[in-house]
Amino acid sequence: MILWPVGFALGLVWLVFRDPAFDYRMVVVGALLPDVIDAPFGGARLAHTLLAAVTVLTLVMLGTRGRRHVRRSLLAVPIGMFAHLLADGMWVRTETFWWPFHGRSLTGRLPGLDHGVAVLLIEELAGVVIVAWCWRRFRLSDPSVRTGFLRTGHLPRDLLG
C-alpha cells in the first residue's frame, strides 16, 4: 500500500520522461496522496477518481502561470496521482474511476486491501524491488547525490549518459 504505488510511480515516470530535473519527491507525494486522502473515509473515494487527478492538474496549471520552476515541480504531483490510479488498476472500477460521470456513489475498499493479503504482499514486494532499483540506478547511496535529491528532488544529470 506504500511501496507499490511509490515504486511504480518512480519507475514509470523515470522510464517515460528520463528527466533528471524532474522533481521525483513530488512524484512520491502524488503517488501516496490518493490513499492518504481516502483511507480515513474507509476506501477508494474521491481521490481515486480520474476527476481528482485532472482537477489537481488543472489547479497546478492555473495556479502556476508565469512561475515556470514552481509549475515544473508541482506538475509531478498529478503525474504521481495518475500513476497511482494505474498501479491500483482503478480503470476497472468504472463507478469510482469515472465518478460522477458513470456512477453516483463512491464505495468500496482501497484497492490494495481489496485484492487480498497475497496480492498485497506481491505488490509491496514489487514496490521494494523497484525502489531498490531506483536507489541503485540513481546512486542514492552516495551521500552527496542523496542530499541533492532530498533538497531538490532532482537526479544526477549524468544518468542519461
Count up the domains in the chain and report the number. Answer: 1
Tell me the average pLDDT across 13-29. Answer: 94
Structural domain boundaries enclosing 34: 3-105+113-160
Tell me the per-residue pLDDT of 67-102, one tens digit each, with 9 for 90 and over. 999 999 999 999 999 999 999 999 998 899 999 998
The predicted model scores a pTM of 0.93
> DSSP letters of 24-71?
HHHHHHHHHHHHHHHGGGTSS-GGGSHHHHHHHHHHHHHHTTT-HHHH
pLDDT in tens, 107-120: 888 888 888 899 99
